Amino acid sequence: MPKMSISVNGQSQVPPGFRFHPTEEELLQYYLRKKVSFDKIDLDVIRDVDLNKLEPWDIQEKCKIGTTPQNDWYFFSHKDKKYPTGTRTNRATAAGFWKATGRDKVIYSNCRRIGMRKTLVFYKGRAPHGQKSDWIMHEYRLDENSTSESNNMMKATSVVVIGDGGQEEGWVVCRIFKKKNHHKTLDSPMSTTTNDTTSSLLLDSCNDGALDQIIHYMGRTCKEIIEEDQEDEDGMGMGMGAGRLLHPIDTSSVVINGSGSYLDGRFSKLPSLESPNSTSTHNCYQPINNHLGPADPMIVSGYQLDSSSVVSSAPHNWAAFDRLVASQLNGQVEVSNMIYYSDQLPTTTTLRATTSFSSKSSSSSYNAVVAAPTAPQDYNNVDTELWSFARLSSTDPLCHVSDTTI
Amino acid sequence: MAAPHSHNFNLPPGFRFYPTDEELVVHFLHRKAALLPCHPDVIPDLNLFTYDPWELDGKALGEGNRWYFYSRKIEGRVTDNGFWNPLGRDDPVLSTATSEVVGMKKYFLFHLQDADAGPLKTNWIMHEFRLADAAAAVATSSSSSRRRGRPKRDYSKWVLCRVYERDEEKEEEEDGAELSCLDEVFLTLDDLDEISLPNRIQ
C-alpha cells in the first residue's frame, strides 16, 4: 500500500510528536467545506475512500499519514444512495456493513450549528446476523443550509461557491477507529497506562451527565422522537400509526436506531455470507421466560420483528407494513394487563412487565413480555437495566407505570 | 520566553503535538539527555521547575490543555502553593518496535498546601518521563537508593513532564478515538436488538 507522503516546510514527514488530530470543527469547517467546494486543500492528508469497496482494516492502511502510529484514520467518502428514490444510504462492504447507532450529534462552531455527526458500527457478515466489531466510524456532514452562508465566511479561501449542488453529491468526512474494550490503553497520548491509583483517578467512565442524558433521551415522548426520526436522513418514514402503536411495546427499533434492525431488507440483494450464529445472545432471554412462566411466552421484540420479517420480503413497501401493523393492532388491541414493579432504583432494579394483547380478528392471544434480568448475573451491565427501565417508563399512554420511584 | 504553542509550526489545520509516551522518551528526552539537537525544538527547558501547574501556560509547550517541558529530576517538587505527590507505581515506556523498555513514567497529583486545611487534592496530573538508561546508571552508582527511585540531585538527569488538568467534561471531546458513554449505551441497545431477532411469531 502506498503511504501518504507529506511535505511540510521541506520536511518529508510530519515532525515527531505531531499527529493529525483535528477537532470536529476543523474537519467540517476546513476540510469538508473545502472538499465540497472543490477547493484545494494544502496537504492531501484526507483521502477519498469508497466505503463500499474497502473494509475498515483496509482503510487503516490506505489512510496512513506519514509513518507515525495512529489511533484513528480520516477519509472523505461519497454518500451513495442505494435506491434512487430513497434517502437511506448503503454502507455495505464485501465483508460486512456499517450500521448507524445512537442519534446524530449536532456539531457547533462558535455556537452556530454547522453539521452533524453520525456514529456507525461495523458488523461482519450480513444483516440481520452481522457480528458487531470494534470498528467505529464517525461520519460528519455539513448542514445543507449552512453551505452558502459559511462560504461567505470563508472568503479568504473559497474559490467557487458550489452551494447545494456540491452538497447533494454527498461528500462526508469520516473518522474510523477501533473501540477500546478496556477503556484507554497505551499508544494514545491522551491515555494513561493502567496504574492502580491513577486509573481510578483518571478514568472514571460515565459521569452523571451522561446518565442524565440517557434518561432524558429515553423519557421523551415517542411522537417527538418519531418525528425527528423521520427528519433524519436515515429515518425510514415509518408511518405514525405504526410507530405510535409499536412504541409501548418496543421502543428500541423504532426510536433508537435510525436504521435499526427492522431494515432487514436493506441488504437482501447482497450475496449472502456465512453468518455467525447468534444463539448465544438469544439465550439471554430464556431464563426470563421461564421465570415469568406465562403460557405461550413471547418476547415483545419478537412481535415487532415478525412485522419486520414481512417487511423484509418487500423492503420498499412501507404502506404494506403500515397496513399490517394496523390490521393487527389498530383498534383491536387493548392492553389488558400491564404490571410493572420496581423494587429498587434503576441501577439495581428488578423490572418485570407483562402485557397481554388480544386480537379480536385472529382470536389469538399474545402474552408479551418485556423483562429486565431478574438475576443480576444475567447482565453485568447497568446500561442494560437502565434501558429496560426507560423502555417501560416511556411516556406513552398505553404504558402504565406504577410504583415509579424516580 | 515566548509562549510556545504547537500551532505555530505552520502545519495545516488539525495537526497537533500529541506525542506518544514512546515519542516523548525516544525523540525528545533521549536527544535532550544526549545533548543532541531536538528537531523540532519545541519543548522548553524549565530547569528545576517550581511553577504551580496553572502557571505553566506561556512557559511550557501548550497543546490543548496539556503542557510539556523538560526539567531536572528532583526529589519532591514543591511549588509556591502546593506540591506534587507521587501516585502509585511507575510504568515502563516500551518501544513499539522492540518491546524494549526505553523509559519510565511516573505519575503525580498536585496538592494544594493550605495552612488551615492541610493538603488538598486537585485535578492536576503530571506524567514524569525518565530514561531507562538513567535508572540503570543510578543503579550502578548507588544500588541502595535505586529501588526507592531517589538518586541524589543530579543535574545531568533530565526528565520530561506532561502536565494537564483532568477535566471530565472535556475528556470525551478531546479524545476523539473513544466512544462517549452515551454511544456505548446505544451500542448495548443494539445488542438487545440482536437478541430479539430470532424470535418471531409462529
Rounded CA-CA distance B196/A96 in Å is: 20
Contact state of B187 with A175 under an 8 Å Cβ cutoff: no
Of A17, A72, A253, the CB nearest to B19: A17
* Whether pLDDT at B186 is above 60: yes
Residue of B90, B196, B202 to mutate for A, most A C-beta atoms under 10 A: B196
Joined grid coordinates for residue B129? 518521563
Closest-CA residue to A126 (of A101, A98, A100): A98
Nearest CA in chain A to B171: A190
Share of chain B above pLDDT 70, in %: 70
Beta bridge pairs of residue A338 = A355
Contact (CB, 8 A) for A305 and A261: yes
Nearest to B189 among A180, A196, A252 (CB): A252
Q: CATH number of A24-148+170-178: 3.40.50.300, 2.30.110.10, 3.90.226.10, 2.170.150.80? A: 2.170.150.80
What pLDDT is attached to residue A145?
65
Binary contact (A177, B177; C-beta < 8 A): yes
Q: Closest Cα of chain A to B166: distance in Å? A: 7
Neighbours of A156 (CB within 10 A): 5
| Domain total of chain B | 1
Nearest chain A residue to B167, by CA: A202
Chain B residues with beta carbon closer than 8 angstroms to that of A60: none
Rounded Cα distance, A115 and A40, in Å? 21
What pLDDT does A156 receive?
A: 39
User: Do residue A177 and residue B199 have CB atoms under 8 angstroms apart?
Assistant: no
Q: Distance between CA atoms of A403 and A54, rounded to whole angstroms? A: 51
Q: Enumerate the residues of chain B whose CB falls inside 8 A of the CB of residue A390.
A: none
Q: Which of B15, B88, B197 sits opposite A18 (nearest CB)?
A: B15
What is the rounded CA–CA span in Å between residue A382 and residue B67?
36
Q: Which residues of A touch B42 (CB under 8 A)?
A: 17
Residue length of chain B: 202
Nearest-CA distance A169 → chain B (Å): 24
And the C-alpha cell for A174?
A: 469520516
Q: Report the C-alpha gap between B18 and A23 in whole angstroms.
A: 13
User: Chain A partners of B11 at a C-beta cutoff of 8 Å?
Assistant: 8, 14, 18
Interface-testing mutation among A18, A132, A204, A370, with chain B (most B C-beta atoms within 10 A): A18
Q: Is some CB atom of chain A closer than 8 A to the CB atom of B169?
A: yes
Q: Is the CB of residue B72 less than 8 Å away from at least one CB of chain A?
A: no
- B81 touches B48 (CB < 8 A): no
Q: Give the sign of the dihedral formed by CA B32, CA B38, CA B43, CA B47.
A: positive
Whether omega before A248 lies within 30 degrees of 0, making that bond cis, reads no
Residue pair B161/B71 in contact by the 8 Å Cβ criterion? yes
Determine how many CB atoms are found less than 10 A away from the CB of residue A396.
17
Nearest CA in chain A to B15: A20
Look at the block and give the residue holding cell 516523548: B24
Distance between B157 CA and the closest CA of chain A, angstroms = 22
Q: In the prediction, which pLDDT does B132 show?
A: 81
Residues of chain B with pLDDT > 90, as a percent, come to 14
| Nearest chain A CA: its distance from B111 CA (Å) | 14
Q: Write down the residue that cell numbers 452558502 correspond to.
A: A148
Q: Is the confidence metric ipTM above 0.90 for this complex? A: no
Report pLDDT for A218: 59
For residue B196, the surrounding DSSP H or E stretch is: helix B181-196
Q: Which of A198-202, B19-23, B34-38 has the lowest mean pLDDT?
A: A198-202
Instruction: State whether B199 and A121 contact (CB < 8 Å).
Output: no
Contact across the interface for A69 and B166, Cβ inside 8 Å: no
pLDDT at A81: 57
Q: In sequence order, which residues have a C-beta less than 8 Å from that of residue A15 and are 6 or more positions away? A: A8, B9, B39, B40
Note down the domain range covering B86.
21-133+154-168
Site from B186, B187, B191 to mutate, A interface, most A CB atoms within 10 angstroms? B186
Chain A residues closer than 8 Å to B197 by CB: 128-129, 261, 278, 282, 305
Which string of DSSP letters, residue by residue, matches B58-104? TTBEEETTEEEEEEE--SS-B-SSEEEEEEEEEEEEEPTTT--EEEE
pLDDT attached to residue A380 = 45
Q: How far is CA A291 from the centre of its chain?
A: 32
Report the distance separating Cα B81 and Cα A34, nearest Å: 48
Neighbours of B144 (CB within 10 A): 8
- pLDDT of B94-151, one tens digit each? 988 888 888 999 999 999 988 788 888 999 999 999 888 654 454 444 444 444 444 4
Q: Can you give the pLDDT at residue A328?
A: 54
Cβ contacts below 8 Å, chain A against chain B, sum to: 225
What residue ranges in A230-309 does DSSP mark as E strands? Answer: 297-299
**CATH classification of the domain holding B129:** 2.170.150.80
pLDDT in the model for residue A369: 42
Average of per-residue pLDDT across B59-79 = 85
- Give the pLDDT of residue B81: 87
Enumerate residues 12 to 51 of chain B having a beta carbon within 8 A of any beta carbon in chain A: 12-24, 27-28, 39-40, 42
Interhelix angle A300-313/B181-196, nearest 10 degrees: 80
Q: Which residues in A lie closer than 8 A to residue B196 (C-beta atoms)?
A: 250, 261, 285, 299-302, 304-305
Q: Give the mean model confidence (pLDDT) for residues B84-89.
A: 85
Distance CA A89, CA A87 (A): 6
**Starting from the edge strand earliest in sequence, which strands make up the sheet with B82-94, in order?**
B61-63, B66-72, B158-165, B118-131, B101-114, B82-94
Contact B25, B102 (CB under 8 A): yes
Question: What separation in angstroms does the CA of B165 have from each of A349, B61, B82?
Answer: 36, 15, 15
Angle A31-A35-A37 from CA coordinates, rounded to 5°: 120
The C-alpha R_g of chain A, in whole angstroms, comes to 24
Q: What is the predicted pLDDT for the residue at B9? A: 62
B-chain residues near A65 (CB < 8 A): none
Q: Which amino acid is at A233?
A: E
How does the average pLDDT of chain B come out, rounded? 75
Enter the pTM of the model: 0.54
| Burial status of residue A263 (CB atoms within 10 A of its CB: 0-12, 13-18, 19 or more) | buried
Distance from CA of B33 to the nearest CA of A (A): 17
Identify which of A244, A263, A132 has the alpha carbon closest to the alpha carbon of residue B189.
A132
CA-based torsion, B64, B65, B66, B69: positive or negative: positive
Contacts of A406 (CB under 8 A, 6+ apart): A215, A345, A346, A393
**A383/B91 CB distance under 8 A:** no
Residue B9 lies inside a defined structural domain of this protein: no
Interchain CB contact of B121 with A (< 8 Å): no
- A348 versus B163: which is more confidently predicted? B163
Residue of B nearest to A286 (CA): B195
By the 10 Å C-beta count (0-12 exposed, 13-18 middle, 19+ buried), A136 is classed as buried
- What cell does A82 get? 442505494
Q: Is the pLDDT reported for residue B63 higher than 80?
A: yes
The C-alpha of B18 sits at a distance from chain A's nearest C-alpha, in angstroms, of 6
Residues in chain A: 406
At residue A318, the pLDDT reads: 60
Calpha distance A403→A303 (Å, rounded)? 27
Predicted local distance difference test score (pLDDT) of residue A201? 41
- Please indicate whether, in this complex, the C-beta atoms of A101 and B190 are within 8 angstroms of each other: yes
- Provide the pLDDT confidence category of residue B156 given band limits of 50, 70 and 90: low
Residue type at A15? P
Average pLDDT over residues B53-78: 85
- pLDDT tens digits in sequence order for chain A, 406 residues long: 333 345 444 444 678 888 888 999 999 998 998 888 887 766 578 888 888 888 999 888 888 887 777 888 999 998 765 555 555 556 888 899 998 888 888 999 888 999 999 999 999 998 788 899 999 999 999 987 655 444 444 443 434 444 444 444 688 999 999 987 654 444 444 444 434 444 444 434 444 455 555 555 555 544 444 444 444 444 344 444 443 444 444 444 443 444 444 444 444 444 444 444 444 434 434 444 444 444 444 444 434 444 444 444 444 556 665 565 555 554 444 444 444 443 444 443 333 433 334 344 444 434 444 444 444 444 444 444 444 444 444 444 444 444 444 4
H or E element: which one contains A142? strand A131-142
What confidence score (pLDDT) does residue B162 get? 93
Residues of A in contact with B195 (CB under 8 A): 281-282, 284-285, 301
DSSP 8-state code for residue A308: H
Q: For A246-262, b where at least 16 C-beta lie within 10 A, e where not — what string?
A: bbbbbbbbbbbbbbbbb
C-alpha cell recorded at residue A83 = 435506491
Tell me the C-alpha distance between A202 and A224, whole Å.
37
pLDDT value for B140: 44
pLDDT confidence of residue A216: 58
Q: Is the pLDDT of residue B164 over 80?
A: yes
